[in-house]
Structure 1
Amino acid sequence: MKTKLPTLCPSCESLLNVSQLSCENCQTVVQGTYPLPIFLKLSPKEQEFILQFFLTSGSLKEMAAQLGISYPTVRNQLDDMIQHIKDLNI
């Protein structure tokens, strides 16, 4: 099982920042404080939704059929996620 990148502080549950990146090939290390990409700030459920959206070429109708839920439910999930992403960027 692959280890997943932690995105939340185990102590207070705030979003973590990236402070170091390293190259496995040449051992170069880059240090600084960088925010997580927007995708990693989303919950695993939201990340899965985006992946499904992408894999269905953006067809909410096809997503609804694959997930076994109604089109309005999928549409509402998308609207909620759009609002969440807007809130994260403020």
Structure 2
Amino acid sequence: MEKKLPILCPSCDSELKVQSLHCDACGTNINGMYSLPLLLKLDAKEQEFIVAFVQSSGSLKVMAQKLNLSYPTVRNMLDDLIGKIEHIQKEML
């Protein structure tokens, strides 16, 4: 089973930050307080949607066919995702 990177605190639902990174190849450790990149702040389904969208060359028609949904439904999903990304970007400022 693949472990998933948590993005929210399990106790209070606040955003988590990265404090440490480690290189297995050379043993280098990096410590500090870093924010997660924007795309990692999205949930797994939203990330999967973005990957599928890119793999579909940005075609909502192809996405609708792949997801077996109507074009307007997929358009609404994309609009919701755009809204969430804009909200996250405002919070990052």
* Shared fold, TM over 0.5: yes
- Give the C-alpha shift of residue 45 in structure 1: 1.5
Which aligned pairs between 1:40-79 and structure 2 lie closer than 5 A?
Answer: 40-79=40-79
Root-mean-square deviation over aligned CA pairs: 0.8
Give SS of 2:48's match.
Answer: helix
TM-score by length of 1: 0.95
CA distance in 1, matches of 2:3, 2:44: 14
Q: Which runs of 4+ in 1 moved over 3 A?
A: none
Alignment partner, residue 38 of structure 2: 38
Alignment partner, residue 11 of structure 2: 11
Contiguous gaps of at least 5 residues in structure 1: none
Q: Percent identity?
A: 56
Cα distance per residue 1:10-29 (max 9 Å; x no partner): 11111100000011011111
CA distance in 1, matches of 2:25, 2:47: 29
CA distance in 2, matches of 1:67, 1:23: 38
Give SS of 2:64's match.
Answer: helix
Contiguous gaps of at least 5 residues in structure 2: none
